[in-house]
Amino acid sequence: SFLRARGCNTSNMSIKQAIGHKFSPTKVHITEKDVSLYALGVGEGWHPTDQSNLKFVYENHPDFAPLPSMVVNFPLAVLAQLFENVPGLAFNPMMLLHGEQYFEIRGKIPTSGTLVSSGHISNIYDKGKGALVVIDAITVDEATGKEVCFNQSSLFIRGLGGFGGDRGTAADTNPPSRHPDVVHKEETTPQQALLYRLSGDYNPLHADPSMAEMGGFKQPILHGLCTLGFATRAVVHHFCNSNPVHVQSVRVRFTKHVFPGEQIITEIWKVGPRRLLFQCSVAGREGLVLSG
């Protein structure tokens, strides 16, 4: 889950009417500080004298660059509009879960500047127990007008299913029946969610113990997008020679929560010249927390 909840519409109109709904464009101003803060929020910098780590957190490094997964935060203000007057969508924000995320790099990610994101609801799938709302967003560099990235966020809203819509299809992300090519183990810190939220994802579920309890958790949980960042970093360092330009796109499904302080285990398989499959689990607990 993600985002800070705002008021929601109480309309009883058909859910299908929301398909195609366009959100107002939003702007985000990023600085070199934001680039470094995001990298630290997803675990970068454990080895501060290692040049392959330092390049993502130190603005004076000659190869200073954003991590590719930083782009998932650019359209957060677009997604937040889902809680505002969207025809046909009336729901309790506490019933929303982040189901899947896809991002595609379409241009150079700047280390500073103004980025403009525009998005719309591209589809809504009927999953029986809930509705899967798919939001497509394109982000451009305001200075050049060129596209920087595309994001597709699939948000599962419990209790809104059964409206007679298409169920959609599930992507095949089953890994090969062999040992992974790389197993990357990394600790998160107890304050990981408190640090990651400073990159723009302020949902109190990840900071406020009382809100976490309302959501059914014993303590605040880590952002799913933060887990995505940990996994993407593992790919960058193990398969891209720590060069972020080699990452073209990433698709993941969020399946379970992670508590700050737990160890994330990322298993990665190379399944083609330019294609990898990976999955994440946490030490000491069964089941996957992320697959992609």
Give catalytic residue positions.
201, 206, 221, 224
Instruction: Count CB atoms within 10 A of the CB of residue 92.
Output: 11
Pinpoint the alpha helices (H) of the chain.
32-41, 51-54, 76-79, 192-196, 209-214, 224-239
The phi-psi region of residue 22 (left if phi > 0; otherwise alpha if psi is between -120 and 50; otherwise beta) is beta
Cα 1–chain centre separation:
9
Q: How far apart are CA 72 and CA 76, in angstroms?
A: 8
Contact status, residue 245 vs residue 236, Cβ threshold 8 Å: no
Q: How far apart are CA 22 and CA 118, in angstroms?
A: 8
C-alpha pair distances (Å), 139 with each of 25, 109, 127, 143, 243: 9, 10, 29, 12, 22
Q: How far apart are CA 40 and CA 196, in angstroms?
A: 8
Return all residues near 194 (Cβ < 8 A) that are at least 6 apart. 206, 207, 260
